[in-house]
Each structure stands twice: as C-alpha cells, then as structure tokens.
Amino acid sequence: MYKLIRNFLFLFDAEFIHEFSVKSIKIFGKIPFFNLFIREVFHLKTDNLKVKLFGLEFKNPVGLAAGFDKNAEFYKEFSNFGFGFIEIGTVTPQPQPGNPKKRIFRLEEDNSLINRLGFNNKGLIEVNKNLSKKRDIIIGANIGKNFFTENENAHKDYLKCLETLHDNVDYFAINISSPNTKGLREFHDKNLLKPLLEKLINFNNSKVNPKPMLLKISPDLNIAQLDDIISLMLELKIHGVIATNTTISRNGVKSNYKNETGGLSGELLKDKSNYVIKYLREKLGNDFPIVGVGGIMSKEDAIDKIKAGANLIQLYTGFIYEGPELIKNINKAILNQSS
C-alpha cells in the first residue's frame, strides 16, 4: 500500500511533500480513534525489545533521526508509528530559513537523497514550547550553531540550546557533522572539539539532573581523525556517539543529481556508515553506546548495523522510501535474532 502512495508523492517536490505529509498526519490525528488505530497497526506489544542505555529505557531500538521533525511539532504523531525514540532538530538558538530552495533531491535509482537544508528551524523558543507537552516517548535534541555564528563563538550557541532545552528533553546530540553549515565540520579537529565539549560537559554536569550527551560524527573522517575523536570521547566521558551523518562523497551515484552539493543519505551511505560503526566498536569496547544511522533501507540493513556494533539505530531516508512498516519489520527481525 505504501509503495502506491509513495509513487504518487514522489511526483512532487521532496520538501513540499515532506511538509504536506507531516501536516496531513497531524490533521488525521485529530480524527477520533485514528491514533489508536495507527498504534494498533504498527506497535509490537512486547517488553523484549527494550534497551537500557545511559540511564534511559527505550521501548525498542529503532529511532527517528534528526532532520525529520526539526521543530518538535510532530513527535507525538510519529511516536504512533512504533519508534522507540525520536530525535528532534537540528535546533539553533535563533530561527533561520536555511539554504535557498530547491535543497532536497531524490536519487531514486540510487535509493538515496541529497539535502542541503542548512539547519532550517524556528529557533529555541518555539522548539522548547513544543517540547513542553506531555509524551510517552524518549526525545533527544540535536543541537547546532547558527549559520552566522563564527566557530570561535559556536560554544555559546550550543550552551544556549543546552540551557533552554535541558528540562524538556531526555538526551542531547551535539551535531558537528552536517556538511551544510559553513565551518561546522572543522570541529572534528581535536584542537577545536576538545574545548567545545569541555564547556558543554561542564555546564551539563553543573545541573542537578545532567542529561546524556552524544556526539554526532561524519562518515567522511579518516582513521587518524576517528582515533582522535575516540580518544577524546573516552577522556571526556561522552555518553555515546551517533554514527553517522550524511556524506559528501558521490561514489557510486548514478543519478543526474550527483553534482548537487549537500549531504547524501540512503543506500549509498550504508557501507560507509557500517565501516565507521565497526571501527568505533573495535576501539571503544563493548560497553560504549553507539547509535547507528545511515542507509537503513530494510530489516536486513538494520540487523547489519546492530551486528556492526550499534546499540540503537535511526531511520531517515529509509522511512521516506519504505514507510512506517519498515519500523515494525525491523523490530520483528530484532526479536527473531534474539529468540
């Protein structure tokens, strides 16, 4: 059924359809019993999928990656589809429009996407207001800097996000890896990253109830850069790592959109992401939490991520291409693996 719907939706601009779809889901959610029906269809009623990490208990290990619900406007609706957690954002202190449109491209023959959205969001005040509602799902906040903030002042933006959202989210994802914000990936340099993380960790630890802090990294790092980040995460006791963001590589791309700038996600990112996850697991040991994201287009892809070393996984492009049934299929496959 979803494939038929998708074929129609894919006739239109990707960003327009995204906005249309999430708003439609919210409208349908106001129909009596609609949300209950969706939950009955997509939720697996079992405790055997629960995952405990960094002091949190996830109903299941399948999350919605950042970028889908940038302003925390639709997390209640998405929770009905069976996700175990949702990461909102990326959030910046001040509202910003992002990069000029057109800025999302479907690479259908590659089962992938390219986006150069550029942290478009409504800003901290609006997002925090949206997060104050009651919910029954774990919410993480993916935070970043405004495009006009120079790197030497970037810590101030991250700190504003930490301070404002602290009481309304369950964990933070420090985003230093989007390719669509000028200078952001420079923070993979340990000499820039260490003082940034130290400031954020010190602030977080000063709170009565410190929140888990995860670092979201690029798939385009070389081994030396990965080793530096691994060493830093262990030294500073970061709670976990999200591997990975989108790639600027165009290896294997068949689509005519291959020369568009931006981050590539979907099937073509899968192997690159898996390689990083395997390397992280080998170097970090068995107990360090890893969230695997990048190219999960099927239940088999999800199992491969877990076998590579991921404790939790996140969907974005796969959710667009395969629909909400993918979540249930993955959770069923995880249950079968563990039985």
- What are the pLDDT digits (tens) for 217-274? 999 999 999 999 999 999 999 999 999 999 999 999 999 999 999 999 999 999 999 9
Taking phi over 0 as left and psi of -120 to 50 as alpha, with beta for the rest, 183 belongs to left
Q: Name the band, by pLDDT with cuts 50, 70 and 90, for residue 133.
A: confident
- What are the pLDDT digits (tens) for 164-178? 999 999 999 999 999
Residues in contact with 102: Cβ distance below 8 Å, sequence separation at least 6, in sequence order: 13, 15
Angle, vertex CA 61, rays to CA 56 and CA 65, nearest 5 = 95
- What are the pLDDT digits (tens) for 52-96? 999 999 999 999 999 999 999 999 999 999 999 999 999 999 999
Helix ranges, the chain (H): 2-9, 14-28, 34-42, 75-79, 124-131, 154-165, 190-205, 223-236, 270-284, 299-308, 317-322, 325-338
Contact predicate 82/136, CB 8 Å = no
- What are the pLDDT digits (tens) for 98-115? 999 999 999 999 999 999
What structural domains and CATH numbers belong to the chain? 2-338 (3.20.20.70)
What pLDDT, on the 0 to 100 scale, is given for residue 337? Answer: 86
Contact predicate 76/133, CB 8 Å = yes
What pLDDT, on the 0 to 100 scale, is given for residue 262? Answer: 97
Q: Model's pTM, two decimal places? A: 0.96
pLDDT higher than 70, residue 339 = no
Residues in contact with 1: Cβ distance below 8 Å, sequence separation at least 6, in sequence order: none
Give the chain's end-to-end CA distance (angstroms, integer): 30
Q: Name the band, by pLDDT with cuts 50, 70 and 90, for residue 198.
A: very high
Catalytic residue among 178, 218, 255, 298: 178
| Distances from the Cα of 288 to the Cα of 205, 277, 329, angstroms | 19, 12, 26
- What are the pLDDT digits (tens) for 296-328? 999 999 999 999 999 999 999 999 999 999 999
Q: Is 178 a catalytic residue?
A: yes
Average pLDDT over residues 12-28: 94
What pLDDT, on the 0 to 100 scale, is given for residue 1? Answer: 80
Taking phi over 0 as left and psi of -120 to 50 as alpha, with beta for the rest, 107 belongs to beta
Question: Of all residues in the chain, what percent carry a pLDDT higher than 90?
Answer: 95
Q: Name the band, by pLDDT with cuts 50, 70 and 90, for residue 134.
A: confident
Contact predicate 123/149, CB 8 Å = no
What pLDDT, on the 0 to 100 scale, is given for residue 289? Answer: 98
What pLDDT, on the 0 to 100 scale, is given for residue 166? Answer: 97
